[in-house]
Amino acid sequence: MTDAHDTAADSSLRTTGGAPPDDGGSSVTEAPTPLLEPREGIPPVIADEAALAEAVAAFAAGSGPVAVDAERASGYRYGQRAYLVQLRREGAGTALIDPVACPDLSSLGEALSGVEWVLHAATQDLPCLREIGMVPSRLFDTELAGRLAGFPRVGLGAMVENVLGFVLEKGHSAVDWSTRPLPEPWLRYAALDVELLVDLRDALEKELDRQGKLDWARQEFDAIASAPPPEPRKDPWRRTSGMHKVRRRRQMAVVRELWETRDRIARRRDVSPGKVLSDAAIVEAALALPANLHAMAALNGFGQRVGRRQLEQWQAAVDRAKALSEAQLPQPGQPVTGPPPPRAWADKDPVAAARLSAARAGVAELAERLNMPPENLITPDTVRRVCWEPPGPDERSVAAALTAHGARAWQVDQVTPVLVAALATSSPPA
């Protein structure tokens, strides 16, 4: 281990421009140190079962938490699968695993069962890790820890720099990780992403403990680890960028047909849907309702490099939408399962609008006192639901409502008095 890594391992909280306000840790202000190479060098990429078995044995025999990261090919490939998995653990070093060559990493997941996994922005990586058989039973999320501790910048690079005093390379985060073979600079970047993740975890744990928030963080981490996979999104075509311009149901049907056609092509070709046809082009076609190939080719996104065969498939999608009966057309909005948009509250229920205004102000004030983002103190959706259909005005009823909406125990303890006060102050006179 180099002197620089000794410094990281033993570092208390630094304040190089991004530490929490009212920091009680040390005030180390020297210039951060560039982190240029993994301490044991760039490990070879594991791409066969024999090498994977050796890694599984090494990580099972390691000690302490394991740093885990995954690289995807967002914007290049269809879906969110992992194209590289990085791990680091004391006693095992760093491993870079190719999940294309080794698509089943359940043996590694089982070897690390019960071990605390350290991830940055865990909810981004957990779905693709789950697909290859890696599911943690315990985790520590360094991004979420940074939010709870009050750091204004919680990206991995900012956290490593501000807490540990090292600068990570930032140049390869958005590259096409499905590329094979992966270039050496990319592999160096990937290995460095887990190089200091456990060191960061240790420093943040100390800071959370100092602030009296460590138990809160553990409740949050447990909630992430135990959360079931998200349900498939209903009518995903409705999230097409620019959809707000589409008003008529026939035009919505065109968006749906074009989106679903694009999705089938993208899935078959394993490319990002945006590389097949842009959202802007879908919306333009929906608004124009082109009558033929000539009209289609005149639209932005459909001319020049789009061949006749492609134009025919897009025109066929438009024609299918035109041929639908009125009963087959999509409805102008998704069924509302919760409160209406807050902007409509003043007209629909002025008293509820007053409750929401008071609750938002109270939550914002409490979040500022606790030095964390309001959305980490309690989700805005939970506040809206409690204010739209308020429980009894007593603390027990409000606490029960918060729990029913998924709030953790620490959130219930902190937010209940605020919401009780908001509901009381905004109640109509007797």
Examine residue 39 and state whether it is found in any structural domain, yes or no. yes
Give the residue from 159, 194, 226 where a domain finishes. Answer: 226
Q: What is the pLDDT of residue 169?
A: 79
Alpha-carbon distance of 241 to 186, in angstroms, equals: 31
| Residue 147 belongs to a domain | yes
Burial class (CB in 10 A: 0-12, 13-18, 19+), 246: buried
**Residue 157 in contact with residue 172, Cβ under 8 Å?**
no
What is the model's pLDDT at position 172?
Answer: 81
pLDDT of residue 24: 46
In terms of domains, do 172 and 39 share one?
A: yes
Please report whether residue 360 resides in a domain: yes
Residue 264, pLDDT above cutoff 50? yes
- Asked if residue 290 and residue 174 are part of one domain, the reply reads no
Strands 82-90 vs 93-97: parallel, antiparallel or unpaired: antiparallel
Q: Is residue 23 part of a domain?
A: no
- Number of CB atoms found within 10 A of residue 180's CB: 11
If you ran DSSP here, which 8-state letter would residue 220 be given?
Answer: H
Query: How many structural domains does the chain have?
Result: 3
Integer Cα distance of 376 and 411 in angstroms: 9
C-alpha neighbours within 13 Å on the C-beta side of residue 45: 18
Q: What is the pLDDT of residues 231-257, one digit of tens each?
A: 888 999 999 999 999 999 999 999 999
Residue 134 shares a structural domain with residue 163: yes
| 174 inside domain | yes
From residue 25, give the alpha-carbon distance in Å to each of 29, 236, 366: 12, 46, 23
Higher per-residue confidence, 18 vs 119: 119
110 to 101, 105, 132, 428: CA distances (angstroms): 19, 9, 12, 57
pLDDT digits (tens, 9 = 90+) for 309-356: 999 999 999 999 999 999 999 998 766 678 998 999 999 999 999 999
DSSP state of 330: P
Average pLDDT in the chain: 91
- Is 247 within 8 Å of 274 (Cβ atoms)? no
* Whether 397 contacts 374, CB under 8 Å: no
In a domain, 413, yes or no: yes
Question: Do residues 391 and 401 touch, judged by C-beta distance below 8 A?
Answer: yes
At residue 203, does pLDDT exceed 50? yes
Q: Which residues contact 69 (CB under 8 A, 6 or more apart)?
A: 85, 86, 87, 119, 120, 125, 190, 193, 194, 197
For residue 13, tell me if it sits in a domain: no
- 172 & 309 share domain: no
Quote the domain boundaries for residue 102.
33-226
> Which backbone phi and psi does 16 adopt, to 5 degrees?
-95, 35
Write out pLDDT tens, residues 70-129: 999 999 999 999 999 999 999 999 999 999 999 999 999 999 999 999 999 999 999 999
Domain assignment present for 109:
yes
CATH code for position 181: 3.30.420.10
pLDDT for residue 308: 85
pLDDT at 22: 56
* CATH code of the domain covering residue 243: 1.10.150.80
- Shared domain for 251 and 209, answered yes or no, is no
What's the token pair of residue 108? 């590694």
Comparing 146-150, 235-239, 294-298, 422-426, the range with the smallest average pLDDT is 422-426
Residue 146 shares a structural domain with residue 81: yes
**Separation between Cα atoms, residue 191 and residue 171, nearest integer Å:** 14
